[in-house]
Amino acid sequence: MIRNKETIRLFAKDITGDIIKDRQEVVVNLRTGPLIMDEPSFNGGKDLGPDPFSAILSGLVTCTLTTLRMYIRRKEWDIFDIHVSINMQQSREPFRTQIFRTIFFGQPVTEQQRERLLYIAKNCPVARLLQGEILIDTDLSDQKNTRAGLGTYPQVDHEATAVIQDYPEQL
């Protein structure tokens, strides 16, 4: 998230993840608690949660809807129902990902509103992130509690790991 042309760190606490031997499901630790992610059965998983691509697309759906809702509320327009449908395709040569997003409004909108709402949707923060230049800086660490990009921080209680250990029959 960039504001006023300055670079800021988006999260106060890293998002972390753990995987257990011989399993596909991953426990992702978010600020609000654990999220189990998994691969679909055709990819060797058990489909216990969203796969990585679904998680990315879900973020775009969520950001689109909340950004549109904030804008509509600020403008005091009578648009109550908003639905977003999203999918993607990838090609190998050249490697390219194309995301398709369709937005439906449950109430009539004027042509001027349509143009503005399309602009707002195309510029929601996650859309800008996905369309912008992304650099992934990956390091290896000898310590589990090494913070991404910032060094070491105090050990965190990973309750999500306990979820897998306490309920292995469900996974």
Domain count, the chain: 1
Question: Residue 82 in contact with residue 105, Cβ under 8 Å?
Answer: yes
Residue 111 lies inside a defined structural domain of this protein: yes
Residues 6+ apart with CB under 8 A from 10: 1
Assess whether pLDDT exceeds 90 at residue 165.
no
Residue 40 lies inside a defined structural domain of this protein: yes
Residue 171 lies inside a defined structural domain of this protein: no
Residue 70 lies inside a defined structural domain of this protein: yes
If you average pLDDT over residues 88-105, what whole number do you get?
95
Residue 169 lies inside a defined structural domain of this protein: no
Domain that holds residue 152: 2-133+143-163
Assess whether pLDDT exceeds 70 at residue 93.
yes
Residue 157 lies inside a defined structural domain of this protein: yes
Q: How confident is the model at residue 23 (pLDDT cuts 50, 70, 90)?
A: confident
Residue 90 lies inside a defined structural domain of this protein: yes
CATH of the domain at 76: 3.30.300.20
Task: Indicate the average pLDDT of the chain.
Answer: 85
Assess whether pLDDT exceeds 70 at residue 160.
no
Which amino acid is located at 8 in the chain?
I
